[in-house]
Every structure is written in structure tokens, then in C-alpha cells.
Amino acid sequence: MKRRDFLKMSTMATLAYSINGNPIHAYGEDHLLSMIAKTRGNNDNILVLIQMSGGNDGLNTIIPLDKYSELSNARANILINQPDVLALSGQANTGMHPAMTGLQDIFNTGRMNIVQGVSYPNPNFSHFRSTDIMFSASDSNVDIDTGWIGRYLDFRFPGAPLNYPDPNIFLDPLAIQIGSSISSLFSGANGLNGLAVSSIDNFYQIVSGTVDPAPATPAGHELTYIRFIAQQTQSYTQVLQNAASIQATNLAPYPANNNLADQLKIVARLIGGGLKTPVYMVNIGGFDTHDNQVDFLDPTHKTGEHANILTKLSEAIAAFQADITLMGKQDKVTGCTVTEFGRRVKSNASVGTDHGSGAPMMVFGTKVNPTVIGTSPNIPANATVSDNVPMQHDFRQVFGTILVDWFDIAKADAEMILNGNQFQMLPIFKYAVGTDNTPLQNAQHALEQNFPNPFRSHTTIRFTTSGGMVQILLYDEMGRMLKVLYENEVPAGTFDVGVDRSALPAGIYYYQMHISNKTFTQKMVIVN
């Protein structure tokens, strides 16, 4: 058997295996299904994860203005002076830390989605354990030593990492972490599916991160020799070099003395240079603000250690967004902040906050739904030291939504990657690809998957509504609106809309239902 055939077969096997109970052979024989297998999950979308190490104080980052008096009771010694809080357009209840003008602008220009109260049941207050839970996407009482990105890459690239790069399948690094370090997030079944890249201008460092200068001794002579060979034989050196030379400079200015900005500069150049790597991770530390979180001499509390790192975070992300926009890559990149936990509602006497649980997540990019998902955290009128920001969303809903809507994999596969955790999708993305439109909290409308799907000539779309003006539009894979499928004022009830293929070519389409300012999207596939 040729290697390529073998890989093809293992691709099928992995896909089939991933959907528990479905017969493996179906993928080899059924044209419709194999069409899905071929087209799904291989878009060139990119995810940039920004790890905020230490546990970010969400309440001083995304500030619930409607809970200001409760916060005044709980954390007077660190609470940001209300007039200084940055306003977010259309969000009367939510503001941002005054240091984050760059992120405010991103939100106000429709490029940020904020998910409130992200945590997991039975939160753990250990940095390490909580990081491991986040990265492995496990329940807090389960130990798993692979990461969800590592497993996603195992799923998408069978045989990773040993079989890659493969000129027939994927040439670029499967994931890149900027810096010398590498995270368990990238651990797959057979090892690390990620590459650590510390510099793209010094190619020694692609292999092993930063290196010490070689001494002028025989040992240094041999060390240099080995480094040359390592550099030249590192499977990905050439593609990284190519990308870095195609995008030889950054197009937007970045802030100086900002380690996160330095990392994002590299990410932007690799993306600008055409690298198809789907996942990047960068890191910014310093969020473990047990003391001196704010400058207590500043009555507005808008300065201090937390303000300093939020400034770095905000300026770096703003520069990065500007940069990839100038490079024309803005529609292909979604960023997402991750922190191991939020901090306690009540501040401590050291002008800081201790380890907590829930925290907001910021997802940014042109494709995100520019809103706040969830409500302001519920803050007790008289918070005690044990009060935490309650969970509104499980972090796996965010990761799962990214897998389904951004990386375009089936929800069942996303659940497999997330250790079998079934999750409800969140409306994080504007043009949700495979959005599970089951009603979210009191929603009154639902758009179901068309049936049959995929289809050759004719299919049916079913929706349920409590009544109103309903519009269903058809989009192609590129997001271009093709036609109006349905437009009518309807009473409450469930309706079936027949759809004729007409002259549409085979491929992937999306249909979107608009009703009372709400949007629901589903994907459909036409085959010959």
C-alpha cells in the first residue's frame, strides 16, 4: 500500500471512529458522507489564543456597571472610579478597564464578543490544576493529559505529529506557540502537535527557542555545527522562512517593551506570509494580582500592576488587529483570551484579589458576533471572602463553539474532542457555520437542520417561532448572499419551507433566519 493511500484510509478510520457507533465502512462507500468527510473541517481559519497567566481579575477588566454599588461594598480598595470606566457601545451595563482603550475600540467597531461568567463546575483554585482543566477540557474531577487543541489536531491531521509535514496533506506547522515554552494544550496522543517559535529572524531559534551564544571553543564549534544541521533539518524551517520573507515586516506599529506585542508581531508575520497553521498561542503573565493590583495612592484605582498588564494586553491586541487588517487577513483570524480562573469578588487587604473562578472571555475578529453573551455577574450586596463570580457559561461551550463554527467540524466530533462533554453552542460568531440553534435561555425561535441533508434536488427547512416577520436568506460558502428563500409575517407555530436546488452547483451553503433582531444559521450541502 502506498503511504498516501494508507493515510487516506487512516483519515477515514479516524473520522469514522470519532463518531461513536457509526459504521466505519460508511465513509468509504457512501458518496454523500464521503463528500462531507472531504469538505468539512479543512477551512483555513486561524485561531490565536492569548493565555493570560495567573488568573485575570475579570471584574476589573470587563466591569459590570449595573453592579457598581455591590462592587463598592466588595472591593472598594481596588474598584475603578466609575467615570473612568470605558463605555462599550450598545452596552449600558458593561464597561472596560480604562487601560484598555485599544480593546474598547475593537468592541465598538464590532469586532469583539464578550462571554460572561466563563468557568466550569466545581472550580479548582490551583493555577496548575485549573490551567490543566482548561487546556485538557476535562471535568474538574477528571485527569486527562492531552490538550483539546492537541486532540483537535490529532482529529484533523491523522498521525500527527510524526507523519507531518506531509506534502500531500499539510506542510505547515500544525500549531505554533511563540516563545521557548510549549503548552500541554498542544499535547496529542502521540506527542506535541505544536512547535515553539521564538524568533523568525534567527532561524537557530526555530528549533529550540532562544539559545545561548556558542563559546569560541571546540565545544562551541561542534555546537554551532549541530545547530546548523538542526536548523536545516527542522521540518518546518523552510515554510517558516518563506512566510517570514514574504511578510518581511509588520505593517502596523506595535508598542515597545511589550512582550505580548513582540509575540503577536511574529504571529502576524507568519499569517501575513501565508502560513496555514490553524492555531497559535501567545502568553502574557502577571495576572496573579494578590497584592498591589492597583496603585492605592491613585484614588481612581485606574493605575497599578493590573492596569499595566491590561495596557500591554490591549495595545498588543489592537496593534495585531491593525496589522492583520493591513495584511488583508482580518477575516481569517479569530483571537480569544484564556485565563485559568477569575479572581475573588471581594478584594483582600493587600490591595489585591485572590484566586477565584468565573471570568469573562474576549473573542475578537471580524467574524465574531459583536455583543456580550450573558449578563453582568451576580454580585451579592455584601460579598464575603468566599464569593466568586458565578458560572454562566462552561468554558467548553466557548471552545466547542470555536471548533464547530470557526473550524467547521461536526458538533459530535467537537464533543468527542472535548472528552465527550455535550455542550450548548454559543452565538459567538456572526455567520455561524454549524450553529446548533436549539433555543438559548427563553429564546422563542428555532431554525432546524434542513432535511434531507446533503441533498441533490430538493430539501425542507423547518423553523419554529413565536410569531413575527421571518426572513430566510441563502449564502454561499464565501458568505455571499444568493437569494431570499422565504419572507413572510407568520403567527406562532412551526413551518416547513421547501427549497428547490434550481441551478445551484454542488457545495456548501448556509441559510440564515432573521426574526426580531435575532439571527439563526444552519449549513446545508448540495451534492450531484
Partner 1 sequence: MGGSNRREFLNNLLPEKLKKETEYDITKDEIFLKYSNKTSPLNLKKSRAGLSQYTGSWGEKEKIHLLRRTMFGVTPANLTSLNGYTMSQAVDLLVNATPPTPAPPVNYYESIYPDPTGVLLGATWVNAPYGDGTVNYYRYLSTNAWWMKNIFKQTMSIQEKMLMFWHNHFVCEENVVGDSRLQYKYLNLLRTHCLGNFKTFVKEITKDPMMLFYLNGHYNIKNSPDENYARELQELFTLGKGANMWTEDDVKAAAKVITGFRADTVNLTYTFDPAKHETANKTFSAYYNNYTVIGQIGAAGENELDDLLNMIFNQSQTAAKHLCRKLYRYFIYYDIDANIESTIISGMATTLINNNWDIKPVLLQLFKSDHFYDSLTMDCVIANPVDYFLGMSRALSVPIPGAIGIVDETRAYYTLAYLCQIVGMDPGNPPSVSGWPSYYQAPQFHEMWINSDTLPKRMKYTDAFFTNNGIYVSGNFNIKCDVIAFAQTLSNAYDPDILVSDCVKYLLAIGLSQTLRDSYKMILTNNLANSYWTQAWTDYINNPGNVTYENIVKNRLRLMLTKLLQLAEHHLS
Least Å from the CB of residue 209 to partner 1: 7
Nine cell digits for residue 494: 412551526
| DSSP secondary structure letters along 321-385 | HHHHHHTT-GGGEEEEEE-S--B-SS--TTSS--B-S-EEEEEESTTB--SEES------TT--T
Name which of 309, 186, 320, 324 is nearest 262 in CA terms: 320
Binding span for partner 1 by CB under 8 A among 77-85, 179-187, 269-277, 424-432? 179-187
Question: Would you count residue 225 as binding partner 1 (CB under 8 A)?
Answer: yes
Q: Which is nearer to partner 1, 87 or 182 (CB)?
A: 182
Which of residues 24, 76, 219, 469 is near partner 1 by CB under 8 A? 219
Q: Which is nearer to partner 1, 76 or 142 (CB)?
A: 142
Binding span for partner 1 by CB under 8 A among 112-120, 122-130, 470-478, 505-513? 122-130
Scan for cell 459567538, then name that residue.
Answer: 428
Least Å from the CB of residue 356 to partner 1: 16
Which of residues 217, 257, 442, 502 is near partner 1 by CB under 8 A? 217
Which of residues 57, 154, 262, 288 is near partner 1 by CB under 8 A? 288
Scan for cell 474576549, then name that residue.
Answer: 362
The residues, ordered by sequence, that sit 6+ positions from 432 with a Cβ below 8 Å of its Cβ are: 405, 425, 521
| Dihedral sign (CA 472, 475, 479, 482) | negative
- Distance between CA 449 and CA 505 in Å, rounded? 20
Number of residues that bind partner 1 (CB under 8 A): 52
Query: Residue 524: what are its φ and ψ, rounded to 5°?
Result: -135, 155
Q: Hey, which residues does 464 pair with through a beta bridge? A: 446, 494
Question: Would you count residue 223 as binding partner 1 (CB under 8 A)?
Answer: yes
Which of residues 11, 116, 131, 247 is near partner 1 by CB under 8 A? 131
Query: Do residues 51 and 338 lie in contact, with contact meaning Cβ atoms separated by under 8 Å?
Result: yes
Q: Which is nearer to partner 1, 235 or 438 (CB)?
A: 235
Query: Residue 283 in 3-state DSSP?
Result: strand
Q: Which is nearer to partner 1, 6 or 451 (CB)?
A: 6
Least Å from the CB of residue 178 to partner 1: 12
Instruction: Find the radius of gyration of the CA atoms of the chain.
Output: 24
Question: Would you count residue 183 as binding partner 1 (CB under 8 A)?
Answer: yes
Which of residues 168, 181, 384, 494 is near partner 1 by CB under 8 A? 181
Question: Would you count residue 180 as binding partner 1 (CB under 8 A)?
Answer: yes
- Within 10 angstroms of residue 178's Cβ, the number of other Cβ atoms is 25
Query: Do residues 155 and 189 lie in contact, with contact meaning Cβ atoms separated by under 8 Å?
Result: no
Question: Would you count residue 353 as binding partner 1 (CB under 8 A)?
Answer: no
Q: Calculate the dihedral angle through the C-alpha atoms of 349, 353, 357, 360, rounding to the nearest 10 degrees.
A: 140
Please, which of residues 375-414 interact with partner 1 by CB under 8 A? Answer: none
Name which of 448, 436, 442, 358 is nearest 400 in CA terms: 436
Binding span for partner 1 by CB under 8 A among 88-96, 177-185, 319-327, 497-505? 177-185
Nine cell digits for residue 402: 470555536
Nine cell digits for residue 255: 508598542
Q: Hey, which residues does 520 pair with through a beta bridge? A: 513
User: Binding string to partner 1 for residues 187 to 216, with x set by CB under 8 A, is what?
Assistant: x-xxxx---x----------xxxxxx--xx
Which of residues 8, 110, 127, 449 is near partner 1 by CB under 8 A? 127
Question: Would you count residue 485 as binding partner 1 (CB under 8 A)?
Answer: no
Binding span for partner 1 by CB under 8 A among 176-184, 329-337, 380-388, 456-464? 176-184
Question: H or E segment at 290?
Answer: none
Least Å from the CB of residue 257 to partner 1: 17
User: Binding string to partner 1 for residues 228 to 267, with x set by CB under 8 A, is what?
Assistant: xxx-xxxx--------------------------------
DSSP secondary structure letter of residue 291: S
Which of residues 222, 291, 298, 331 is near partner 1 by CB under 8 A? 222
Name which of 32, 41, 110 is nearest 417 in CA terms: 41
Query: Do residues 93 and 64 lie in contact, with contact meaning Cβ atoms separated by under 8 Å?
Result: yes
Nine cell digits for residue 50: 492569548
Binding span for partner 1 by CB under 8 A among 15-23, 129-137, 467-475, 500-508? 129-137
Q: Which is nearer to partner 1, 340 or 408 (CB)?
A: 340
Q: How far is CA 339 from CA 118, 120, 135, in A?
A: 10, 12, 10
Question: Would you count residue 4 as binding partner 1 (CB under 8 A)?
Answer: no
Least Å from the CB of residue 203 to partner 1: 13
Q: Which is nearer to partner 1, 77 or 208 (CB)?
A: 208
Q: Which is nearer to partner 1, 50 or 71 (CB)?
A: 50
- Distance between CA 26 and CA 43 in Å, rounded? 23
Residue 396, Ramachandran bin (φ over 0: left; ψ between -120 and 50: alpha; else beta)? alpha
Least Å from the CB of residue 346 to partner 1: 22
Which of residues 5, 29, 31, 162 is near partner 1 by CB under 8 A? 162
Q: Would you tell me which residues interact with partner 1 (CB under 8 A)?
A: 53-54, 126-129, 131-132, 143, 145, 162, 179-184, 187, 189-192, 196, 207-212, 215-223, 225-230, 232-235, 283, 285, 288, 340
